[in-house]
Structure 1
Amino acid sequence: MNRFARLSAALLVSAAAAAPALAAPATYTVDGTHTFPRFSYSHFGLSTQLSKFNKTSGTVTLDKAARTGAVDITIDMTSVDTGYETFNGHIQGEDFLDTAKYPTATFKSTGVKFEGDKPVAIDGELTIKGVTKPVTLKVTHFTNMPHPMLKKDAIGADATVVIKRSEFNAGKFAPNVGDDVTITVSLEAIQN
């Protein structure tokens, strides 16, 4: 019986060692040099204006095994880049972003939807000018791979959502200047 007990114990230990380890959630830090939220809107029906923000920070948590995740992003609204210095100042005024009172905007996820092993939508709370609204970002691209230069696990994603700027107290000149604003975020993040 003693020999049988030792054999059983050895088999259990071997099975435990051979079983795949349960993956834990991984936390990634947003790479501010490769992450750019952009926004676009109609300008009097003449053209689509494109602008971006140059400073973004935050974290992404991903649990591949459980197919869950979380996103927490902060955008420095004073880093708006319209391509024209005078307009950068204009859009930071009270009628639009009011960066003197509200220097940042945030997005905090409340849930992530997956198809297979890839996220396809991120529900969350978007706060601009102190106004918080629920939004759903549609993920149009996602990849998870070792970063070729940093030799760390990395994620990359593109996501988009359309909001009404008037709902965030930034509706000056609407509807002549489009109320619908398309926000697109191109993000890279590196595992801590």
Structure 2
Amino acid sequence: MTRLTRLALIAAAMTSLSGPTLAAPETFIIDGTHSFPRFSYNHFGYSKQLSRFNKTSGKIVLDKEAKTGSVEVLIDMKSVDTGYPVFNEHIQGEGLLDTEKYPTASFKSTKVVFQGGKPVAVEGKLTIKDVTRPVTLTITSFQAMPHPMLKKDAIGANATTKISRSEFHAGKHAPSVGDEVTIDIAVEAIKE
């Protein structure tokens, strides 16, 4: 056996002993044209009102092999959209969102929980009006695949949580207008 052949066999053996190559963490940038946090609450017992924020940014990092990740979301609170301009101004007022003093809200994860190969929850800290509280976003759907139009890897998810708005100093008109707020976020992100 020639020396070159022996070296090739040793290299092949060493490669097989080292195990499979692990996937590295992947970073995805949130697509602000397809990512909208929505919130709903009880309005005087008459109806469940649903509104959204139109400007959201951030990033998601996932390592599917290690089953870890992180999520950072920044919400422009001045982009609140109730469907009615006068109410948009009202909800941005001092006793509610107070967007003059607090123009943004944020979510930063502390843990991404996986079940099998998919994330099922994101634990983290939500900050509204400089008040930070722990929340868990329950992921109700998750998809990872190449984007059919952009030809890049992409992910998408829907997640939900409930908060008490008075805990964030936004409790004006409670309890007549419900203190419990359901937050649903639809998010799509494109690989960096």
Q: Which residue of 2 aligns with 1:132?
A: 132
Q: Following the alignment from structure 1 to structure 2, what is the Cα–Cα distance between the partners of residues 88 and 103? A: 14
Matched, 1:156 2:127: no
Q: Which residue of 1 aligns with 2:93?
A: 93
Over the residues paired in the alignment, what is the CA RMSD in angstroms? Answer: 1.6
Deviations 1:43-70 (A, max 9, x none): 0110000000000000000001111110
Q: Which residue of 2 aligns with 1:165?
A: 165
- Structure 2, unaligned stretches of length 5 or more? none
Q: Following the alignment from structure 2 to structure 1, what is the Cα–Cα distance between the partners of residues 173 and 2? A: 83
Deviations 1:22-80 (A, max 9, x none): 21100000000000000000001100000000000000000011111100000000000
Deviations 1:103-150 (A, max 9, x none): 000000000110001111100000001100000000000010000011
What's the CA shift for 1:7?
A: 4.5
Compute the TM-score of the two structures, normalised by the length of structure 1: 0.94
Compute the TM-score of the two structures, normalised by the length of structure 2: 0.94
Matched, 1:67 2:67: yes
Matched, 1:40 2:29: no
What's the CA shift for 1:10?
A: 1.6
- Structure 1, unaligned stretches of length 5 or more? none
Identity of aligned residues (%): 64
The letter of the residue matching 1:69 is: G
Query: Equivalent residue of 2:159, what SS?
Result: strand
Q: Following the alignment from structure 1 to structure 2, what is the Cα–Cα distance between the partners of residues 12 and 89? A: 71
- What is the number of residues matched between the two proteins? 190
